[in-house]
Amino acid sequence: MPRTVILIPASLAVLGAGAGLERPSTPSPGGAPALSYRVADAFYSWAVHQGTDLTVVRTIGSPDEGGGEIVMVAGPTVGGPPAVMVRNVPVLARTLGGPKTLGPGHLSRSTFGGVAALDSFRFALVPGSNAVSIGGRRASHRTLTVESWWIERGEDGARTPVREIGRADLWFAADLPFSLVPLAVPPVGRAGGALPLSSNHPEVAAHVLEKVLDQLIPLGLLLRARVLDSVIPDENPRAKIGLAGQVAERRIDVDSIRSEAGEPSAPDWTGLPVLTASQGLALEIGMMAAGEPCGRERASGYFEFSSSGPVSFMAGGAGASLRDGEGLGHASVVLGGMGQRAVECTLVILSDSARTPGSYRVVGPSGTVFSGSGKEAIVVHLLADPGARAMTRFLALEAGEVRLERADGQMVKGIIKGNGWVAELDPRYRRRVEDGLGFDASFEAPREAGGRN
């Protein structure tokens, strides 16, 4: 039987674990003036104010329709590359970032649903032959192509070779300071629409951008992008469902450029901790998964947990349950939940039915989780103030073990040992993101009342 994959909305399906473009921001040329301009695709447009220390991106339109809202920031004031706020939580996440290394076997969200495994890829950035004048400025032309070969893993067990090709024709104005913002807006699956393959494989697009960035910076500001992505599957007579080819075109334009004397201010967006792109995805997945199961009181079972490293906390007592996975699609163990003053909850999502003892390898939340071989588990922990409707702590483990010492479908007993990262978001203290957090827990969780046998 093929392995099940946790389904993630396309708007959240960003990247696997990695750190591409997490380096410090690229400074604008010395003495470069602040700019404002408009970035538009075929459907929407954004107003950008690009200052020396802070760039602010706002929606365009009437306030009643959400116009004027900040949707992205960038620059030294916020630590560098473009970032967005995560689901109205006081934390930023990078919009661009891919795996440090990318090679055969890398798993990605499939164009056809499910998962595809990378076989090989190559890319090239070459000078184009179509230099043009855009808005009265001479714009140099570059072509960025990415060719990739994948093995599509069908739900029927079929393995179909698929070739995906992306081509982006890019025009830059050398008399204007470079910025990553036009390459990151609008987010297409969270990698910018001006990048090839960003719609289907944003982590590949971000990885390639990291490799060519030093060649793009001297070219100046991106003024125009024309992108064509093609998906070409081979015929597979063993597949029950044939795969159809696809072609997607995108157009990004930058116009209404003018110099600005002042620099932007975004006090609600500055001073916030910043997550990597993969951490931002983990936070979003964790909050979606934990919302319903963590939002109730529990009286049976017991648990205790503690952390070590840069942030220390502990808790324990009655309140643990085994769930069949309604709404998650997987069995899960919930430790804690709604209390009188706070919601403190650890959610363990398992890759199988939890009916037999065994060891599960802890993996970080991602768009391709549970697609590999062997038993796996996701472990997230959160602390929230229900009165203020605010989350004050979030932890995601990235490695470790969940070991079920007893499991029979009616009760699980086990331990958790792992390490990961934590976001401390309580406004009364220093907001921060810390890596290298250790987490230990033990639990005995009966089946939740009303669960299936």
Kindly report the three-state secondary structure assignment for every residue of 316-382.
Answer: EEECEEEECCCCCCCCEEEEEEECCCCEEEEEEEECCCCCCCEEEEECCCCCCCCCCCCCEEEEEEE
Phi/psi at 182 (5° precision): -60, -25
Contact in structure between 94 and 274 (CB atoms under 8 Å): yes
Query: What is the overall mean pLDDT for the chain?
Result: 86
Question: What local confidence, expressed as pLDDT, does residue 28 receive?
Answer: 45
Question: What local confidence, expressed as pLDDT, does residue 328 receive?
Answer: 57
Report how far residue 75's alpha carbon sits from residue 82's, in angstroms, rounded to the nearest whole number: 7
Per-residue pLDDT for 15 more than 90? no
Per-residue pLDDT for 150 more than 60? yes
Question: What local confidence, expressed as pLDDT, does residue 261 receive?
Answer: 67
Q: 273: which 2 tokens?
A: 């901790």
Report how far residue 230's alpha carbon sits from residue 65's, in angstroms, rounded to the nearest whole number: 34
Q: 416: which 2 tokens?
A: 């958790």
Per-residue pLDDT for 420 more than 60? yes
Other residues' Cβ atoms within 10 Å of the Cβ of residue 380:
24
Average pLDDT over every residue of 272-298: 88
Instruction: Give me the numbers of helices (H) and strands (E) for the chain, helices first please.
Output: 3, 26
Report how far residue 421's alpha carbon sits from residue 279's, in angstroms, rounded to the nearest whole number: 8
Task: List CB contacts of 8: < 8 A, sequence separation 6 or more.
Answer: 109, 285, 367
Angle at 374 between CA 370 and CA 380, to 5 degrees: 45
Question: What local confidence, expressed as pLDDT, does residue 320 receive?
Answer: 93
Per-residue pLDDT for 337 more than 60? yes
Among 120-129, 250-259, 355-364, 441-450, the minimum mean pLDDT is found in 441-450
Average pLDDT over every residue of 169-183: 95
Q: 70: which 2 tokens?
A: 């900040």
Question: What local confidence, expressed as pLDDT, does residue 21 receive?
Answer: 58
Per-residue pLDDT for 17 more than 80? no
Contact in structure between 45 and 37 (CB atoms under 8 Å): no
Residue pLDDT, tens place only, 59-110: 998 777 767 889 999 999 999 999 998 877 889 999 988 788 899 999 998 8
Question: What local confidence, expressed as pLDDT, does residue 422 receive?
Answer: 97
Contact in structure between 399 and 405 (CB atoms under 8 Å): no
Question: What local confidence, expressed as pLDDT, does residue 3 receive?
Answer: 38
Per-residue pLDDT for 5 more than 70? no
Residue pLDDT, tens place only, 275-286: 998 899 899 988
